[in-house]
Structure 1
Amino acid sequence: MTVLIYWFRQDLRLADNPALSRACAEADCLLPIYVFDPADDAPTEWGFNRVGSHRRAFLRESLDDLKRQLRALGSDLFEFSGDLQTVIASLSVAVNATAIYCEQIEAPEEIDQVIRLQSLGIAVRQCWQSSMLEPQDLPFDLTAIPDVFTAFRQKVEKANLRFASPVSSVTWIPPLPVWQTPSVQTSDLRAESHLKSFVGGEVAADLHLKQYFDRRLPDTYKQTRNKLLGMDYSSKFSPWLSLGCVSARTIAAQLDNYESEHGANEGTYWLSFELLWRDYFRFLHFKYGRKLYRKTGLSDHPPSKFGRRQFAQWCGGHTGEGLIDAAMRELSTTGYLSNRLRQVVASYLIYDMMGDWRAGAAWFESQLIDYDVYSNQGNWLYIAGRGTDPRGGRAFNVAKQTNDHDSNGNYRRRWLQQSDESVQIQKNEE
């Protein structure tokens, strides 16, 4: 009898999940698990928790949704907290597992997790499944990927590559093995968030995609993507993509169907363009790996000195620069921030406040519900001039950005006024 463990990582879905599909096809019994890393509860070197409340709440919702779907198929999701090696080693013995199946994640900490499991003699079978394009379909070896995105895009487009076809959703899961709960700590993830705009899970992701395409919002994507207020100014796919509640290939396939029905246009092209950027940051890891995570990035220049007081002002939205403060307060209040403002506030920390880019990247990791290890690192390196772009860093003129994107002041009033009112209410309650 073949007993397998399926370890969910950043792929909390049943649709277009090749690793899960393969595990289901090969197993007589299958144990689906999710493991919480205690390191996520520890403070970072910058003085704040690595995973904030908004991320925890979105993850909790996504896991609950996955559990419901698995139970509907006669299976379940078992959550554990503790050292990954200890947890999986104990589970492997308890169920007499032949192997562990999981998604491949090509970032240093995630690679090390797999290496540690393999060092115990545990067979780990990984599947790359987070990109829109298949690595083997690219017109070059991943170790020779162009260092400039434009060159990468042009080669991909010349080869007529759009997306890899998603695989069918899992509709049957092998029965659970007969087992006794091992002596590892089960999870009790409790998270509260005031976030209202996004609900985690594959079901919510599907509903969001459906309404987005039904309302023909792709047509106006390019014109609206840099707006700052509302749910419709950009696709908002990223929260569900970040945890794998939906795959990039599923979105690309739906976009292709949309173009077949309504016609391609500038908006639909730019949606594909942004998904390609997402792929690019992923594929760069196959070329540069851990070098992308050095304190200098790919450059030879040391990072700026960390100024705790200035950094606290930036995080809390108390720099005195209206657009920056409004953006940082939106981030801390909701766990979300537009891509335009992510670049602007990153630039402000690096070039106006002469702050350490690594601290900024860590703050985004803590706060963003759509935190993605590849995109977060790639974007911060890009702004800081420590990535592959030969043009160096990208400094934004805050006055120009304010005039271009919030000339009427509505965004600043929305977040600065709300924050001030929240503080006053809290003081009154005290």
Structure 2
Amino acid sequence: MTSSKSAIYWFRNDLRLTDNPAFALACAGVDCLLPIYTHDEQQDASSYEFARVGIYRKSFLQESLQDLRAQLQQYGSDLFEISGDLTKIFLRLKAELGIERVYCESIVAPEELRQLQVLRGLGIEVIDLWQSSMLDARSLPFAPEKMPDVFTQFRQQVEKQPHQFTKPAATVKSLPPLPKQESLAHSPINHLSPNASVAFIGGETHAQAHLRQYFERRLVDSYKQTRNQLIGIDYSSKFSPWLSQGCISARTIARVIADYEATHGSNEGTYWLWFELLWRDYFRFLHFKYGRKLYVSSGLGNQKSHPLNQEKFERWVTGNTGEPFVDAGMRELRQSGFLSNRMRQIVASYWIYDMQGDWRAGAAWFESQLIDYDVYSNQGNWLYIAGKGTDPRGGRPFNVKKQAKDHDPDGVYQRMWLD
């Protein structure tokens, strides 16, 4: 089989078959297709004294990969996990299989962009497709590079558009056969099963099941009223773990919202769920405009972050700051791999403003611990809180005592994690 008729599909943060345009494009364009997932040892390296990918993220990822592999096998295909240096991985595949074309989704964060530069530098043709947002970048009322900085202005212009989300792509009906690959073998990372306080199981199958039950139980109706609660599974949508790995697409969720509104009518809950998906898009599109600027100490401003104090940082990450509400949140994160959006803002604010901490270290800890880590949203939210992004207020310091009184007046949450 010639290389022009066979290709690799490189799964990245799109571990699904439903609404995956890049994968559909690959299936339509070749005679043989090798689906792979890479565990890049260079991306696993951290500049901090902790693992870049913690046990909860690893466990959720592995479940997602196992589910994807099972789906591919139902089509007569398979998923191959390959660990090592990215350059060596693709040089090996090129040499052993003669494949010189790779299809994948487009990710416009700095490290992910460098990965594609590496592949192209090896003489490999890379066909990458943007597909992780609710709105197609080409459908925006402005070029992403010239989008409004302030979210409210961004939202108002989007809301004037006739279409509030991009229609999901059709699921492939058949897959090309695998090329001959006798030398390749599955090499999944060790499966871990930590005892998480909130039960999330990775994979598209579980993502779709969660989506169905959420709308069947009409939990969306109360989304706006309950989204800032701290305890339980139903207080917010909990789509973020599956969105982070691409086990489900934002467009699929948006379509379900629209179908639900057509049947039951729109309400505050359905609007605010769409509104949060739009925030997710906003942080993505900011990368088209600012790119690497979003990753430097000063962010989009002129003032660098506070220097990192390792002793203070250790107290923060272990939940030993002496501020009970913050310590409860940090212990939940460390012991479960999850934290409510409200608590994320509170503990981030405390680290930046009360402890005079380096926002980048806080962002790196979230990257390590959160099962729903998303490079765009994590970076965007930390910059927003730190006042180094596009927030017109110039930062979001929180009054922790007031937040505890408002959101944990009886101390139930604090007792849950501190006792």
TM-score range, shorter chain: over 0.9
**Which residue pairs with 1:194 in the alignment?**
195
- Structure 2 distance, partners of 1:77, 1:340, is 37
**Counterpart amino acid of residue 139 in structure 1:** P
Instruction: Give CA deviations for 1:237-277 in whole Å, capped at 9, x if unaligned.
Output: 00000000000000000111011111100000000000000
SS of aligned partner of 2:99? coil
**Counterpart amino acid of residue 188 in structure 1:** I
Q: Which runs of 5+ in 1 are unaligned?
A: 418-430
**Which residue pairs with 2:78 in the alignment?**
76
**Which residue pairs with 2:305 in the alignment?**
303
**Which residue pairs with 2:31 in the alignment?**
28
Match of 2:16 among 13, 17, 37: 13
**Which residue pairs with 1:375 in the alignment?**
377
**Which residue pairs with 1:387 in the alignment?**
389
SS of aligned partner of 2:415? helix
- Structure 2 distance, partners of 1:190, 1:14, is 22
- Structure 2 distance, partners of 1:60, 1:194, is 15
**Which residue pairs with 1:347 in the alignment?**
349
Cα drift, residue 144 of structure 1: 0.6
Cα drift, residue 41 of structure 1: 4.2
- Range moving further from structure 2, 122-131 or 33-42: 33-42
SS of aligned partner of 1:318? coil
Q: Any residues of structure 2 matched to 1:196-211 within 5 Å, and which?
A: 197-211=199-213
Contact 1:81 1:185 in 2 (8 A): no
Contact 2:228 2:341 in 1 (8 A): yes
Contact 2:100 2:123 in 1 (8 A): no
Closer, same or farther: CA 142–129 of 1 in aligned 2, 3 Å: same
SS of aligned partner of 2:155? helix
Cα drift, residue 187 of structure 1: 4.2
Contact 1:40 1:49 in 2 (8 A): no
**Which residue pairs with 2:367 in the alignment?**
365
SS of aligned partner of 2:364? helix
**Counterpart amino acid of residue 246 in structure 1:** I
- TM-score under structure 1 length normalisation: 0.94
Q: Any residues of structure 2 matched to 1:75-154 within 5 Å, and which?
A: 75-154=77-156
Contact 1:6 1:100 in 2 (8 A): yes
Contact 1:40 1:51 in 2 (8 A): no
Check if 1:38 corresponds to 2:27: no
Check if 1:291 corresponds to 2:331: no
**Counterpart amino acid of residue 155 in structure 1:** Q
Contact 2:11 2:105 in 1 (8 A): yes
**Which residue pairs with 1:421 in the alignment?**
none
**Counterpart amino acid of residue 25 in structure 2:** R
Instruction: Give CA deviations for 1:52-84 in whole Å, capped at 9, x if unaligned.
Output: 000000001000000000111100000100111
**Which residue pairs with 1:422 in the alignment?**
none
**Counterpart amino acid of residue 178 in structure 1:** K
Instruction: Give CA deviations for 1:25-44 in whole Å, capped at 9, x if unaligned.
Output: 111000000000113543x3
Match of 2:174 among 169, 172, 175: 172
Q: Any residues of structure 2 matched to 1:245-284 within 5 Å, and which?
A: 245-284=247-286
**Which residue pairs with 2:67 in the alignment?**
65
- Structure 2 distance, partners of 1:79, 1:8, is 10
Cα drift, residue 185 of structure 1: 9.5
Q: Which runs of 5+ in 2 are unaligned?
A: none
**4+ residue segments displaced more than 6 Å:** none
Cα drift, residue 94 of structure 1: 1.9
SS of aligned partner of 1:274? helix
**Which residue pairs with 1:420 in the alignment?**
none
**Counterpart amino acid of residue 123 in structure 2:** G
- Structure 2 distance, partners of 1:5, 1:201, is 21
SS of aligned partner of 1:218? helix
Instruction: Give CA deviations for 1:172-220 in whole Å, capped at 9, x if unaligned.
Output: 11100013326x9944344342225100000000110000000000100
SS of aligned partner of 1:147? coil
- Structure 2 distance, partners of 1:251, 1:276, is 12
- Structure 2 distance, partners of 1:141, 1:383, is 26
- Structure 2 distance, partners of 1:34, 1:75, is 14
Cα drift, residue 296 of structure 1: 1.3
- Structure 1 distance, partners of 2:193, 2:186, is 22
SS of aligned partner of 1:160? coil
Instruction: Give CA deviations for 1:79-137 in whole Å, capped at 9, x if unaligned.
Output: 10011121112112322224100000000000000001101110000010000000111
**Which residue pairs with 1:413 in the alignment?**
415
Contact 1:11 1:244 in 2 (8 A): yes
Cα drift, residue 170 of structure 1: 2.2
**Counterpart amino acid of residue 24 in structure 1:** C
SS of aligned partner of 2:34? strand
Contact 2:105 2:129 in 1 (8 A): yes
**Which residue pairs with 1:336 in the alignment?**
338
Identity %: 60
SS of aligned partner of 2:326? helix
Instruction: Give CA deviations for 1:7-49 in whole Å, capped at 9, x if unaligned.
Output: 000000000000000100111000000000113543x333111
SS of aligned partner of 1:36? strand
- Structure 2 distance, partners of 1:405, 1:39, is 40
CA RMSD in angstroms, aligned pairs only: 1.3
- TM-score under structure 2 length normalisation: 0.97
**Counterpart amino acid of residue 382 in structure 1:** Y
- Structure 1 distance, partners of 2:218, 2:321, is 39
